[in-house]
Chain A
Amino acid sequence: EPEVTQTPSHQVTQMGQEVILRCVPISNHLYFYWYRQILGQKVEFLVSFYNNEISEKSEIFDDQFSVERPDGSNFTLKIRSTKLEDSAMYFCASRETGGRGNNYGYTFGSGTRLTVV
């Protein structure tokens, strides 16, 4: 079964440092997402990406965050200057279609645990 692959599985970084979280979505999927989950809390939408541009972003996704699809396979989330409160699990997801299609099913990766110290 096709998978969404995320690397690294765990990253520890110092406050103020830049981090890049990487994702390889399923190859024929067109819509890409980042979500985060602070420990013990719910999964929160960060951003959606389609056709090489951001489709929608949440209020969490401020100027410190950016996304990129640099080479047609990888999908990255960059946090420019990490804060303690950025510590969370970050999940990448992809889906084949968007809008009100019949298939709303996302495929999530296993996540990157980001720890900011």
Chain B
Amino acid sequence: QQQVKQSPQSLIVQKGGISIINCAYENTAFDYFPWYQQFPGKGPALLIAIRPDVSEKKEGRFTISFNKSAKQFSLHIMDSQPGDSATYFCAANPGYSSASKIIFGSGTRLSIRP
């Protein structure tokens, strides 16, 4: 119930292509869904986030698609660039937690080939 399932584990995309990472959850109490980007030797950095009352959020080349009925959400990176090569984590906030902990997915290692 407290898990966020993420796929694929790793992804290789050609430069200019679209990178798609998928996540699924079970707990309908989750009320906030961020995506984090992590470069080697660094901590996770917030990339983009969405609430379940909208179906899509776009910021530059990054788009979150959210399907509340299916309890799934995905990150799309358009025109993928070598600088996008990193590990991406989807996450969710359980809602009930007043301290707002974040539950992370297992991560996707994205490599963009030049």
Which residues does A use to contact B, with CB under 8 Å?
A: 4, 31, 33, 41-45, 48, 50, 55-56, 91, 93, 95, 98-101, 104-106, 108-111
A56 touches B49 (CB 8 A): no
Q: Which residues on B sit within 8 Å (CB–CB) of A93? A: 43
A111 touches B43 (CB 8 A): yes
Shortest CB distance A60–B (Å): 12
Q: Which residues on B sit within 8 Å (CB–CB) of A41? A: 106-107
B43 touches A33 (CB 8 A): no
Instruction: Among B45, B93, B105, point to the contact of A104 (Cβ < 8 A).
Output: B93
Closest partner residue, chain A, to B107 (CB atom) = A42
User: What are some 28 contacts across the A-B interface (CB < 8 A)?
Assistant: A31-B100, A41-B106, A42-B104, A42-B107, A43-B44, A43-B104, A43-B107, A44-B104, A48-B97, A48-B99, A48-B101, A55-B99, A56-B97, A56-B98, A91-B43, A95-B100, A99-B100, A100-B95, A104-B32, A104-B49, A104-B93, A104-B100, A104-B102, A106-B46, A106-B102, A110-B42, A111-B42, A111-B43
Number of CB contacts from chain A to chain B under 8 A:
67
Known: A42-B107, A43-B104, A44-B104. A56 touches B99 (CB 8 A): yes
Instruction: Among A43, A99, A110, point to the contact of B98 (Cβ < 8 A).
Output: A99
Q: Which residues on A sit within 8 Å (CB–CB) of B100? A: 31, 48, 95, 98-101, 104
Mark out the residues of chain B between 4 and 33 whose CB falls within 8 Å of any chain A CB in the assembled complex: 31-32
Top 10 A-B residue pairs of the complex, sorted by shortest distance between their CB atoms? A108-B43, A48-B99, A55-B99, A43-B104, A42-B106, A45-B101, A56-B99, A42-B104, A105-B46, A91-B43
Shortest CB distance B56–A (Å): 18
Query: How far is A93 from B45 in the complex, measured between Cα atoms in Å?
Result: 10
Query: How far is A100 from B52 in the complex, measured between Cα atoms in Å?
Result: 13
B43 touches A56 (CB 8 A): no
Query: How far is A4 from B34 in the complex, measured between Cα atoms in Å?
Result: 19
Q: Does B73 contact A (CB under 8 A)?
A: no
